[in-house]
Structure 1
């Protein structure tokens, strides 16, 4: 079924829609309590962007709306100009949006290579030879070739994360959404995540991150949006975020530094 690129309520944006993953004027309330109010943001291919903010700011709700886990009360989500606001997660995946949840998402009973193969086999435009070639490329690129026959349940945390990202790339996404990728990991693993995000950017894939580890997140991304009380307080480069007096007052604290 063909998806209409611009339903009537969003045609007013036709002349100004940028390419990439674009969120416009999102709103969401729970039991009449506003959680998001007029939130707009964007991610271009080849850049990493974070959604940050104190607890209760609305960042998790915003992120889950973009993934398709929950629906907004108002606003639009566009992918390269195409309206995707009401599409379920699997439809967004087909259009090029990959999602990595915080919890382990690989099939624990399958080997590393069969985890990747399970996604490659859903790519109907690839024949079996192409699927196997891409499998080999992913195993090499993410340094898990030596683990190809290892059951996923036996992987370390860092190995599992590399396999999860490789598996996400098996669907050939244009954007990858990372939910709390830095939660509960050690400094070495943070470096691994930074390198993996660099690999995604090299592939011209846009990355959107939400994480409570603000210092390490700002050390990874190109730009960040800071939400406060359901609204975008500011947006900018990491150093601009850190230097913002309002952000330091309500979120980072006066002694914060990168």
Structure 2
């Protein structure tokens, strides 16, 4: 009996010690997560993506894409509903990315590729939350490749090789390719400043406020492409614009250009 009491007191003390130690670790971990969130979150996301991302092909027949493009016309839905779709978009995490919905061929309008960034994404009709979990979404109704200002947006996952994360690293002169699987449309990242009419200006890369919509507006007689993504914190938009150079048939496109459209993982932009 005499030896059991000290043993019980010792066991009780050990349980209390480990209990308090566990609480201290939890508190310390919580404080560390709050203070170093910006440094830790990208590393955690990168680990999740490397571990669980499963490559998937997307396929869409050229005639399906042509039908989608024909149906995507100005005024197809009200401007109010269109703006509501855009305003409902929220940032996504690595978990959201991995839970992305199945790709519907009825939404695909084509593909965008920037070979110098090893970037390739499917283009979908509308920058809705669902579409932006899958690829790049058009920012205006009835856009046509090779005419006007073909504008689209995709998420910045803060991870190189995913979505439009590589976009801020673009260099002046980089080629940007769009395709509807019928034609390949060629653009070059380019800056043009018009001091007399600033609204006619466009830039190969600049950072603007989230409320700036001038960058996606058409410029008369000036066909360009505009790619938009958030900066790392979401406080601004990274905008890349390119001047239209011309187009040629997809069937006769050089092999390296066709390879640049090989979207081997639906939304991951690094080409395997």
Name the TM-score class by shorter chain. Answer: under 0.3
User: What TM-score results when the alignment is normalised by the length of structure 1?
Assistant: 0.25
Q: Which has the greater radius of gyration?
A: 2
User: What TM-score results when the alignment is normalised by the length of structure 2?
Assistant: 0.24
Query: Looking at both structures, which has the greater relative contact order when contacts are Cα pairs under 8 Å and sequence separation is at least 6?
Result: 1
